[in-house]
Structure 1
Amino acid sequence: MSYSYPRIGLLIDGEWIHDRDACLQVVNPSNEEILADVPKATAADLQRALAAADRARRIWRDTAPEARARVLRQASALLRERMDAFCQTISLELGKPLSDARYEVERACAIMEWDAGEAVRLYGRINPSAPGMLQLVLRQPIGPVAAFTPWNAPLSSPARKLSGALAAGCSVILKAAEETPGAACLYAQCLMDAGLPSGVLSLVFGDPNEISEALITSPVIRMVTFTGSVNVGKRLTQLAAAQMKPVLMELGGHAPVLVAEDADPVQVARMSAAAKVRMAGQICVSPTRFIVHERIYDAFLVAFAKAVGEVRVGDGFESGVQMGPVANPRRLAAAQALVEDARRRGARVLTGGHRLGEKGYFYAPTVIADVPREALVMSEEPFCPLALCVSVASLREGIDLANSVSVGLAGYAFTNSLSTAEQIGREIECGILSINHFGGPAPDMPFGGLKDSGFGREGGSESLESYTVTRMVSQKAFIA
C-alpha cells in the first residue's frame, strides 16, 4: 500500500514557497526511500519572515484573548479531522508505529486546547493604592518569538511552542527540523485554515546555524525557545544572552529508573520494556539507566531481557509492530559504538546489541547488564533503544547514582513504600518524576528540566509565562 507525503514548503507572510534549492532530502527510515526535498530559506526569505512577524505582532497582540483561543481550538479540531494524514506523515518520516503517531496527534490537540484556555487566564492585578491612584500589573505578550523544534517530536514539539506563544499573543517564526518537516507543514496549514492572520506564523527550513544567527540577532525577535541537545541549547542561549533576550530551553536527559527492593521485579521489568522501546528510545524522557536493588536485580534482569527480546520491530505501518527504526544511519552507528564500549569495559549484553537487517535503520532493542560507571553510555544520552542495568546495595547508593549525571529532565521510580517514595521525590534531581508508572505530564502539568536539561517550563499554568512580560502601570485619576 502506498501513502502520500505532503509537499514541503516555506510559509512566509501567509504564502507557501516551494521554488528554492534543497537543503536536505527527507528519507523514510524504514526503507531508506526518499520522500521529499526540503527547500532552503534564503537570507531574503528570513528577512521577509522577520518583517512579517514584526508587522503581525501588533495585530495578534491586540486580538482579544477569546478570539486567539478560538483559532487554537479550531486548529485542534482540524488536526482531528486530518488525523489520518498526520499519522501517515509522521510514520513515513520517523518510522514509528501508527498507534504512536496517533498518540502524538492527540497529545498535540490536548496541548492546544489547554493553551487556548490559558489565553483567557492571563491575569494581571490591581494593587491597593491611595484614592485617585490606580496601580496595575499587566501581563502582555513578549513579542515575536524564534522557535526551534527537533526531529523526534515532529508535531508535539511545534504544538507546544506555537500554541503557548500564540495563546499569549506573540507572533512566531518556527524553524522546524529538516529531517521530519511534513507534520510541521500540515500543522501550519491547520492554523492558517483556522483563521490565523498572515504573518503571525512563519515556517522556515535551512542551515540551522544561518537561521539561528539571523533570527536571534535580529532586533525583531524578543524571545527564543528551543528543544534539542544540550550543546546546541547552550550555543543558542549564549547567542540570545549577547542580545539580552530570554530563552526557554528543553534539552537532553538521561533518565534514571530506581527500582527499590520492595518492588515486584517482574512487573516492573515488563513495564520497563514497553517504556524503553517507545520511539526506539529517541525521546528525551526515555528511561535509560535502570538502577535496581541487588536483592531483586537478577530476577529483574531475567524478566526484562525476556520482555525486550520479544518486542516486535518493523515498519510502523505493519500491524502489531511495537518499535520502528532509529531515525538515521548516525543513530545506528552511535548505538553500536556505545554497546561495544560497554562490552569492552565488562558489561554483559543480554539481548540485542546489533543492527536488524540491511534495509532501513533498525536496531534491536538492547538490554545491557552490569554496566560500569566509566562506560560512555552511563554519561552520554544514548537516544536509541539501549537499556543500561546496574545493581545497588541501598537506596542512598541508587539516588546518588541517579543524580551523578549533568542532566536532570525525567526520572522514574518504583516502590511500595511511602517513605521511600517521599525520599525519592525530595532528592532525585529532575524536573519530571514519575513514581510507579512511566507516564509523563499531561498538558495541565509543567514540563521541563533541571541542571543541563534547561530551564523554563512548557505546559501547566506556567505554559504562557515565558511568552509574556510583566509591566507596571500607575495612573492618577487627574493631574494635580
Structure 2
Amino acid sequence: MIEKNVVNGQWYETEQTIPVFNPATKELLGHVPSSSADDALRAVDAASDAFVTWSSLTADARADKIDAWYRLINEHRDEIADIMTREQGKPFVEALGEVDYGNQYVRWYAEEARRIYGETIPASVPGKRLFVEKEPVGVVAAITPWNFPAAMITRKLAPALAAGCTVVLKPSEETPFTALRLVELAEEAGIPAGVINVLTGDAATISGVWQAERRVRKITFTGSTAVGKLIMRQAADTIKKLSLELGGHAPFIVTENADIDKAVTQAIRSKFRNGGQACVATNRFYVQASVLDAFTEKFVAEVNKLKVGNGLDADSTIGPLINAKAVEKVKAHIDDAVAKGATILTGGTIDDSVGYFVTPTVLANVTEDMICMQEETFGPLAPISVFETLAEVIERANNTPYGLAAYAFSERIDEALLLGKKLEYGIVGLNDGAPSAAQAPFGGYKESGLGREGGVYGIEDYLEVKYLSLG
C-alpha cells in the first residue's frame, strides 16, 4: 500500500504520520502522512500551475487520458478491492462492485468531456451576435469520506478532469490507501503532474488553507450535514462554488399493493449494503398495516441469512463498522428504541473484541419518538413502523430536515408515481433498492446537500457560463 502523499507529481513522506487500521481485526495496516498547512498550499500552487495547461488541452486529449485511467482501474480492480476491504471492511465482492460502479463515472465523464457545448442566442438588435461558452471553474478541492473510498473519489474527480479543472484531494484518514492507489493509476494513465494532488492529514488544517485560497474556486464534499454547513459558511468568504452531498434519513415504504418478495429483496440491498454505512441506505421502514406481518416475517428470515465477518472471508456478507464510535452509535439507537417500547426481532448482538461487528438488527413496534426514526443510524439497524394511509406515510416520511434518498414499493403504477411525486427527496427508488447510476443525477433536497453528481448534471457544477456579445 502507498504510504505517501503526492503534490505536483512528487510523492513524499512526513515526519508526523497517521496510523490506519483494519476495522475487522483492529490490526495496523500502515501509516500515511500528516500533511501540513504548507503542504496544502503547495498543492494549490501545483494545481493552479497545472490548470493553465490542462484546461488548454482539447476535449479529445483530456478524454483520452481519462479513458486510459478507466482502463487501468479496470485492470487493477481486484487489487483496489482488496485494499478497500482491508481498510474499510466491506466484503470483497461488495468492494469489487464499488470499484466497478465508481469506474463507470470515469468512463462516463471520459465521454462527457467531448460534449461540453455552448450555444448562440438570437440578438435583439441588428449587427450583434450573442454566444454562450462554458469554461472550467478552476482549481477544485475535493474532500471525500471513508465509507465509499473509491466511488466518492471517481464521482468527483472524473467530471472535474473532464471539465478541464485540476484537483486538490483530501481523502478520509481512515481509508486513504484506496485513494492513493487510484491517483497513482491516474499518473500511469498520463494525467500530468499537478492535475491531481493528494494530501492526508488534519481536516481543519488542510481545508482551512483551501478555504482561504482564492485560487480554489470550488469545493466538493461528501460527509455529514454538520460539517457541510461549516464548509458552506467558510466558503462564503471567497464565494466558492459548492457541491455538498450530505446526510440522509431514507424511508422505505411498503404499501399493501407491493410485491412483498421484491420489496424484501430490495430492502436487504438498500439497508445492509456496506453494513448500512451509506448515505442512501434505508434508515426507517414504513409498512402498511395489512401487509406488516407478511413483510416482517419474510424480511427477518432474509436478515437471518446474512453472515457477519471479515470482508476477506468468502462467506461474509456483512463486514465490520468503521470504528468504535460507529458501534457505540448503533448500540445507543438500539437501547433507546428498546427503552421506549421497541422489540428486537433479530440481532442486537455487538462483538467488538476483535473487530467492530454488529449483527444485523430488526426492530418492531417502532414509534416516531425513537432516535433511530429521527437520526441517521449509519449501521445495520432496521426499525419497522406501521402506517394506515398514503397521506399519513408521506407526511411522516417527509417530516425530516433531510432529503437525499427514499424508496417506495407498490405494483400499482398510479400509487407508485404518487409516492414518487410527493416524497421530498432528490432520489426516489420506485420498486428499486439500488437506483444510483453514473448517468443519473445523485444529490438531495433540503439539508442533504447542494448540486448533483452523475450524468450531464454532474459536470455542470465544474463549469462557469460565459456570455459573449459581439458587436
Global fold match (TM > 0.5): yes
2:23 corresponds in structure 1 to 29
CA 1:205 to 1:357, structure 2 compared with 1: closer, same or farther past 3 Å? closer
2:302 corresponds in structure 1 to 307
Q: Is the 8 A contact 2:139 2:165 kept in 1?
A: yes
1:268 corresponds in structure 2 to 263
Given the two structures, how large is their TM-score scaled by the length of structure 2?
Answer: 0.98
Q: Which amino acid aligns with 1:78?
A: L
What 5-or-longer segments of structure 2 have no aligned partner? none
Shift, 1:265, TM fit: 3.0
2:35 corresponds in structure 1 to 41
Query: How high is the sequence identity, in percent, across the aligned residues?
Result: 38
Per-residue displacement from partner, 1:328-384 (whole Å, max 9, x unpaired)? 111111110110001111111111112136211110000011211111111110000
CA distance in 2, matches of 1:357, 1:157: 27
1:105 corresponds in structure 2 to 99
2:457 corresponds in structure 1 to 462
Q: Is the 8 A contact 1:69 1:116 kept in 2?
A: yes
CA 1:136 to 1:357, structure 2 compared with 1: closer, same or farther past 3 Å? closer
Q: Is the 8 A contact 2:283 2:372 kept in 1?
A: no
Of 84, 90, 94, the match for 1:96:
90
Of 137, 152, 155, the match for 2:147:
152
CA 1:212 to 1:19, structure 2 compared with 1: closer, same or farther past 3 Å? closer
Per-residue displacement from partner, 1:47-75 (whole Å, max 9, x unpaired)? 11111111111111101111111111000
CA distance in 2, matches of 1:401, 1:366: 22
CA distance in 2, matches of 1:25, 1:200: 27
What 5-or-longer segments of structure 1 have no aligned partner? 1-5
Give the SS at the match of 1:120: helix
Per-residue displacement from partner, 1:146-179 (whole Å, max 9, x unpaired)? 1100000101001011001110000110011100
CA distance in 2, matches of 1:270, 1:460: 27
Shift, 1:291, TM fit: 0.3
Of 62, 67, 70, the match for 1:68:
62
CA distance in 2, matches of 1:232, 1:302: 39
- Does structure 1 residue 165 correspond to structure 2 residue 156? no
1:234 corresponds in structure 2 to 229
CA distance in 1, matches of 2:328, 2:418: 39
CA distance in 2, matches of 1:153, 1:182: 12
Shift, 1:212, TM fit: 1.2
CA distance in 2, matches of 1:294, 1:58: 61
Q: Which amino acid aligns with 1:79?
A: I
Per-residue displacement from partner, 1:209-232 (whole Å, max 9, x unpaired)? 111111011111001110000000
Per-residue displacement from partner, 1:421-472 (whole Å, max 9, x unpaired)? 1210110010011111212221111000001100100111111100000011
CA distance in 1, matches of 2:278, 2:435: 12
Give the SS at the match of 2:216: coil
CA distance in 1, matches of 2:414, 2:265: 25
Give the SS at the match of 2:290: coil
Shift, 1:132, TM fit: 4.8
Q: Is the 8 A contact 1:341 1:375 kept in 2?
A: yes
CA distance in 2, matches of 1:83, 1:387: 31
Of 298, 303, 328, the match for 2:323:
328
Q: Which amino acid aligns with 2:35?
A: A
1:206 corresponds in structure 2 to 201
Give the SS at the match of 1:464: helix
2:52 corresponds in structure 1 to 58
CA distance in 2, matches of 1:43, 1:432: 37
Of 405, 410, 413, the match for 1:415:
410
Range moving further from structure 2, 451-460 or 273-282: 273-282
Q: Following superposition of structure 1 onto structure 2, how do residues 274-313 of structure 1 map, counting pairs within 5 Å?
A: 274-313=269-308
Q: Is the 8 A contact 2:88 2:322 kept in 1?
A: yes
Give the SS at the match of 2:214: coil
- Does structure 1 residue 319 correspond to structure 2 residue 311? no
Q: Which amino acid aligns with 1:199?
A: G
CA distance in 1, matches of 2:386, 2:336: 19
CA 1:411 to 1:446, structure 2 compared with 1: closer, same or farther past 3 Å? same
Q: Is the 8 A contact 2:62 2:161 kept in 1?
A: yes
Shift, 1:126, TM fit: 1.7
CA 1:20 to 1:161, structure 2 compared with 1: closer, same or farther past 3 Å? farther
Q: Which amino acid aligns with 2:54?
A: W
Give the SS at the match of 1:277: helix
CA distance in 1, matches of 2:435, 2:144: 19
CA distance in 2, matches of 1:210, 1:440: 36
- Does structure 1 residue 86 correspond to structure 2 residue 86? no
**Structure 1 moving runs of 4+ over 4 Å:** none
CA 1:42 to 1:128, structure 2 compared with 1: closer, same or farther past 3 Å? same
Q: Is the 8 A contact 1:270 1:303 kept in 2?
A: no
Q: Is the 8 A contact 1:20 1:41 kept in 2?
A: no
2:128 corresponds in structure 1 to 133
CA distance in 1, matches of 2:369, 2:126: 68
Give the SS at the match of 1:187: helix
Give RMSD over aligned pairs: 1.2
CA distance in 1, matches of 2:31, 2:122: 59
Q: Is the 8 A contact 1:266 1:299 kept in 2?
A: no
2:365 corresponds in structure 1 to 370
Q: Is the 8 A contact 2:167 2:196 kept in 1?
A: yes
Shift, 1:271, TM fit: 3.1
Shift, 1:97, TM fit: 1.0
- Does structure 1 residue 401 correspond to structure 2 residue 396? yes
CA distance in 2, matches of 1:209, 1:46: 11
2:387 corresponds in structure 1 to 392
Shift, 1:387, TM fit: 0.5
Give the SS at the match of 2:461: helix
Q: Is the 8 A contact 2:144 2:222 kept in 1?
A: yes
Q: Is the 8 A contact 2:402 2:447 kept in 1?
A: yes
2:174 corresponds in structure 1 to 179
Q: Is the 8 A contact 2:269 2:433 kept in 1?
A: no
